[in-house]
Chains A and B, each alone.
Chain A
Amino acid sequence: MTLVDPSLPDPLPHEPGVAEPADGAPVPPEPAGRLSAVRLLATNPVTVAAAVVLVVVVVLAVLGRWIAPYGENEVDVVNALQPPSGAHWFGTDELGRDVLSRVVLATGVSLQVALVSVTFAFVVGVTVGIVSGFTRGWLDTVLMRLVDVMFAFPVLLLALAIVAVLGPGLLTTMLAIGVVYTPIFARVARASTLSVAVEPYVQASRTMGTPSWFTLGRHVLPNISGPLIVQTSLSLAFAILSEAALSFLGLGVQPPSPSWGRMLSEAQGFLGQAWWMSVFPGLAIFVTALAFNLLGDGMRDVLDPKQRTVIEARRKR
């Protein structure tokens, strides 16, 4: 039994003046003048806000050096652990370094870690996942057992092992986080591919003699994009935190360079005395992660044609 989803636009107005095509069946009207995905994204204020936040974050990452009022390692022991004031908006840390400047200057590193590691995990994981889910058979078994092995290690332990082997540094950190997140993407992609691969439209594509890579790119990937987008926006936030954990253990970004995660872990000992040391880098992570999530939500809606029709109909009203 199907109930009408009231969130959908009215499905069947027989518009006067529109030639009724064959079947005379109820047809939703075609949205007049389709908007591009970007223009549609721009109609959602929440998505726009998220995009603006991310633009600011990127600008800070690129121009941080000129924006930050102090240097990242300008030690001023006399003014250590000062609360937020006119001179130090976000206060100072235990060495008297300006927290605002460090938050700004850490943006680049944190963003780089998040984007590079998640991109790596996405590309490798999704490729493994859809190939696995689409081909099935022995390849699927082999790939998935590999993924299981990776899952069996605690995330941090695996990252630690990788960093230990390759030596600490920004690049290794990004690689380690990327490798650790790969199996998650592989699993999500495989599970969604399994359900999409049996859809008649995928079978229809195969009966035409379509090569597998074409079917995968044209039919499978777009139809599993919903869960992948959600997973990506979650992972971006978690990658920033993973970097913090690695830095805390002295294996991530090396001191004295700041990263949001590193600042959080350094602030741990001063939670009672200097709340600003942890709150501001924490806020930076929170706002960035939230922006990624909201932008992801908006993109998922716009990329789904059904949701698009709803958005377009809402706009017209």
Chain B
Amino acid sequence: MSPETADGPVIEVTDLRVAIGRREIVHGVSFALHRGQTLGLVGESGSGKSMTVLAATGLLDAPASRVTGSSVLRGAGTTQLVGASPRTLRAVHGNEIGFVFQDPSTSLNPLLTLGRQITEPLEVHRHLTRRAARSRALELLTAVGIPDPETRLDGYPHQLSGGQRQRVMIAVALACDPLMLVADEPTTALDVTTQAQIIELVRDLQERTGTAVVWISHDLGVIGQVADDVVVLREGAAVEQAPILDVVDRPRHPYTRELLAARPVLGHPGPAPADADTPVLLRAEELDVHFPVTTPTGRSTVHAVDHVSFAVRRGCTLGIVGESGSGKSTIANVLTGLVRASSGSVHLEDTDVLAARGSALRALRRRIAMVFQDPFSSLDPRVRVDGAIGEPLRVHRLAARHGGRDARVRELLDLVGLPEAFASRYPHELSGGQRQRVSIARALALDPEVVILDESTASLDVSIQAKVLDLLADLQRELGLTYLFIAHDLAVVQQMSHDVLVMQHGRTVEQRPAAALFEAPEADYTRRLLAAIPPARPRVAG
């Protein structure tokens, strides 16, 4: 990097506005970023975080979009990125600005070797020979901590885990020693331990190369770990802009305070412990699930759930935590009949869940309901809210007459805090939080005893997540519901659960009352999970 760029900001964005059609989406955002610094962009979905950065870096190509203001990149020369020609932008992208996006499973080309994907920008921008580019690629893979980089160069993305893919994405982004790295929710799709590693990796690389980083995230915890300065965005406007410590300790804008208050933090007291004599409602013993899979080396078996036992007491919540692939969702699928167990038993009071057939099974389906993770895909886009909530009633011939069903739908909408008028809306006419409320209403339609919540709040914004968690807690108290609360977020699990089951690779790691588990985790794995959670205090606070 040339010495004259060391002092001034690497990028200076002034009064950036983005309009799509006649509507302004980003309203005059300004920021400057110096070498070796990290700027955190925080906001909820739809706040314009990505839009701002895409517009500032000239990567926005939404039809009918109009960007005004200024965004000056000071590299070898000074480049105005707003309104720059495609030719200028091509020379900048991948060369002076590197990008890492959210989903590592789709941002690498599945048909190209990893080596090819890293060498491509080097050959295009730096005009390196194949051989030189390859040795640089090897260096980069080593730097981002990919084991056995020599062989990996000729490997394909599907041979890597999600975390490793994100490391490769970072290697691609850093290939040309960019002045600036844009990381758009780079850890959101990753497990908490992998997230911690990626944060560490970016910080480490940044120290070595002095790259400026713009880190976009909805998670204040993550931003606290990476950022020096923070811009809080809301509906396309920067409501607060300050060093991270000021934002956390002295938030000035009410929205920032709201965000800080809503984020799930470890140490939440959680529900009062249940009485010791509360009867067990749902009991699983030695539950075992394996699937046959076909691999290039022949047929093998995936042991998704490995002899897991648990019991949930009536009116209580069992939190099941673990990273992706730990088998927690498979348990939910066994209980709802989507997956067949290989062995073991599950009893709901005296009913054998796994052996139920015919009318017994239908009766069982009324007693166990499930709320899915993604409120955008768990509601049929072609069925109105009243149809969705009314479906279980219709299927089980409850409240059979039309008027009766409508009345029940209204009652359920009211229960989850939605106005009756929503009955005639289609899912796409609702926000994420409202859709999840509709999903909850649908699950409650049959007056179930057990509700399985499979990452049911994971894809919601923090402030909405907080409200939905409150709703769930209220419903549990009012209706005496028993929850199986599956989540990867330990803070949320602590807030909701009476007991906690920690799983890894399909096995039980630890299973204890929540208070005891969070107080003094026994298993190493639990301790590692807890340690990987971004702390409430920003890193700079020490």
A residues near B, CB below 8 A?
1-6, 10-12, 19, 21-23, 25-28, 30, 34, 199-211, 214, 218-219, 222-223, 303-306, 308-309
Contact = CB atoms under 8 A, between A and B. Distances in A.
B392 A208 contact: yes
Given A6-B64, A22-B433, A208-B395, A219 B380 contact: yes
B365 interface: yes
Contact of B437 (A22, A203, A209, A305): A22
Contacts of A208: 365, 369, 391-392, 395-396, 446
B429 A207 contact: no
Nearest to B429: A28
Contact of A21 (B54, B184, B395, B422): B422
A26 B421 contact: no
Contact of B20 (A6, A27, A200, A214): A6
A204 B433 contact: no
Given A1-B102, A306-B381, 5 more contacts: A34-B424, A200-B374, A203-B378, A204-B439, A207-B370
Contact of A207 (B25, B337, B379, B426): B337
Given A23-B434, A305-B426, A210 B395 contact: yes
Contacts of B468: 23
A219 B431 contact: no
Pairs of residues from A and B, 10 with the lowest C-beta to C-beta distance, nearest first? A209-B365, A25-B431, A23-B433, A207-B336, A22-B417, A200-B378, A305-B426, A201-B380, A208-B392, A222-B382
Nearest to B417: A22
A34 B430 CA distance: 16
Contacts of B471: 22
B434 A22 contact: yes
Interface in B356-374: 361-362, 364-366, 368-370, 372-374
B425 interface: yes
Given A3-B62, A208-B392, A305-B428, A201 B378 contact: yes
B381 A223 contact: yes
B328 interface: no
B434 A25 contact: yes
Most chain A Cβ neighbours within 10 Å, of B337, B392, B429: B429
Given A6-B20, A201-B378, A223-B382, A26 B424 contact: no
A294 B338 CA distance: 41
Most chain B Cβ neighbours within 10 Å, of A3, A201, A218, A304: A201
Interface string B156-183: 0000000000000000000000000000
21 contacts: A1-B101, A4-B25, A4-B51, A6-B20, A6-B64, A19-B419, A23-B434, A23-B437, A25-B431, A25-B461, A200-B372, A205-B391, A207-B369, A208-B365, A219-B380, A219-B382, A222-B380, A305-B381, A305-B426, A309-B426, A309-B429
Contacts of A6: 20-21, 62-65
B423 to A, nearest CB: 11
Interface in B282-317: none
Contacts of A304: 381-382
A1 B434 CA distance: 22
B385 to A, nearest CB: 11
